[in-house]
Chains A and B, each alone.
Chain A
């Protein structure tokens, strides 16, 4: 369905998003703290952080909904409020709950279309595109979470924008919907648009995002490509005499360390490990490439600093339940 082009297949010149030294204080609470990063066109950028890290506040400042305490956030060099054609420049889906329950989804889009000077026919095009043309004629109060997400996405795409900003778009989508969304986002970025997707789970966006920006407590923790984040994969090998293999590898200029049940070797070339073991006359029981555990990495990067949880018992393995709605966790294989 998403192959239906949103804009007759035109190539887009997406705009660069620039967040520089952005801060927001709510009273004595610093929600966003001197944040600086850029988002490039033609790629999907994941904007990550635990619940309460300041993602939504940052996006709202970028969209002119929240006034920054200091710093700036611009789209193609201009503030959102200064854009001549806001819906034609930026499409945003912030929360899947922002609909009047008594208004149909179609009329919701028509209200927006009127403000942007777009014809009603554009509304029906979008409803076809996101796959809810019939259901959208009913009042929004009865919509499922998945329908709300699709309606939100239709609203974001209404003006055929250069930039897409989506806040937790996978929440409430079933695995099929998430797969659809993943393809859709990649397709949109492929058209040259700028796509920024927030999420509170790194693993959720790792298949889609080209770049990631990770924040915690309103501060930048790490940014780069997913591959950079994972680092060079290492080889894991199990053999009969690990210490002998470490020595043999050292001779071959490869460092290795023993770990539970085997060795972790600092190379992603499995052949090197196999050849060395053969020369040393050691049997190989297992030899695999081992990437960094992104979930663990994300947890390490953002852990122990979550302001929302202060006061909770330390070391609680499950951790307190996140305050935000959180439909995606626990859905194995439902990654974005």
Chain B
């Protein structure tokens, strides 16, 4: 099993995808951290319940700054998840994978472990970018860069969130074997459909209170406990641990369905 995981990681780090993604995720994290840090520390955003329709304390502000690149980050990890299996279908290297590791459960298990590792690796790259840029800006504006140990919890959960998004990508990648279609559907849903649907449902009381908070992107934001929208139509957020469980469930269901299919299918 360790060999199979090593093989999966080597597969990932021997194409150009990995450093392109690394640069993208680092730059996005640094830019968004700067943007968020500047906007939260600008006038009128002093602590909870400030004007501008946002609510959150110093902890939430720090969380928001450090995880502001997460929105781009999880889309990139979703892409990595899709491609870790989709490119194997596309280039037919899945044959070699199953010849090297013929026990399918082992081969797929190795992919899942490798994707969680990649989630953590890219999470660290992202956090290095966002903390390096965000913390000085917060400090310069007299905000505490690390107001509480809770911030560390959010940073750790951000790593997990990225790994789970990679697993969601893996599930989508198996269930839609055409890599391009899988990427369009996956990113299209997470980036466009889900926010629109969430926005639409927020005008409906039941949707606002019982549906929107279980959406994967919504759960991801709740997980890292960021500053939230305030106002009558703002959707309710789950607590960080409930949100983590919800995202875990999304990843488990999608990756589980994908694994079930991948372990049985004919590779012709």
Contact = CB atoms under 8 A, between A and B. Distances in A.
A77 to B, nearest CB: 16
Contact of B3 (A66, A67, A94, A115): A115
Contacts of A104: 14
Given A67-B264, A115-B4, A98 B14 contact: no
A115 B100 contact: yes
A65 B267 contact: yes
B102 interface: yes
A57 to B, nearest CB: 7
Contacts of B96: 98, 108, 111-112, 155
B100 A116 contact: yes
Contacts of A57: 268
B15 to A, nearest CB: 4
B36 to A, nearest CB: 35
B140 to A, nearest CB: 43
Interface stretch (B5-13, B39-47, B208-216): B5-13
Contacts of A65: 95, 98-99, 266-268
A227 interface: no
Nearest to A158: B100
B268 A114 contact: no
Interface string B8-46: 001100111100000000000000000000000000000
Interface in A53-106: 57, 60, 63-67, 80-81, 83, 86-87, 92, 94-95, 97-104
B266 A66 contact: yes
B105 to A, nearest CB: 10
B178 interface: no
A64 B102 contact: yes
A235 to B, nearest CB: 48
Given A57-B268, A107-B14, A116-B3, A87 B95 contact: no
B139 to A, nearest CB: 42
A114 B7 contact: yes
A34 B7 CA distance: 37
B261 interface: no
Contact of A115 (B91, B101, B264, B267): B101
A117 interface: yes
Interface in A258-297: none
B15 A103 contact: yes
Contacts of A87: 99-100
Interface residues of B, number: 28
B102 A114 contact: no
B91 A99 contact: yes
Q: Which of A87, A108, A114, A155 has the most CB of B within 10 A?
A: A114
Nearest to B266: A66
A97 B95 CA distance: 11
B9 to A, nearest CB: 8
A101 B92 CA distance: 11
Interface string B102-130: 11100000000000000000000000000
A94 B102 contact: no
Contacts of A97: 92
Contacts of B11: 103, 111
B264 A99 contact: no
A102 B102 contact: no
Contacts of A64: 98, 102
A95 B99 CA distance: 13
B57 to A, nearest CB: 47
A103 B92 CA distance: 13
A47 B17 CA distance: 40
Nearest to B101: A115
B6 A60 contact: no
B92 A110 contact: no
A75 to B, nearest CB: 11
B228 interface: no
A94 B267 CA distance: 12
Contact of B6 (A102, A108, A114): A114
B89 to A, nearest CB: 11
A96 B3 CA distance: 25
Nearest to A95: B92
B144 interface: no
A149 to B, nearest CB: 15
List the 4 closest pairs (A to B, CB-CB), nearest first: A115-B100, A115-B7, A107-B14, A114-B7
9 contacts: A66-B266, A97-B92, A103-B11, A103-B14, A104-B14, A111-B10, A112-B96, A115-B97, A116-B3
Interface of B: 3-4, 6-7, 10-11, 14-17, 87, 91-93, 95-104, 264, 266-268
Given A64-B98, A83-B102, A95-B92, 20 more contacts: A57-B268, A65-B99, A66-B267, A66-B268, A80-B102, A81-B103, A86-B101, A98-B91, A98-B95, A99-B91, A100-B91, A100-B93, A102-B16, A110-B14, A112-B7, A114-B3, A115-B6, A115-B101, A116-B100, A117-B3
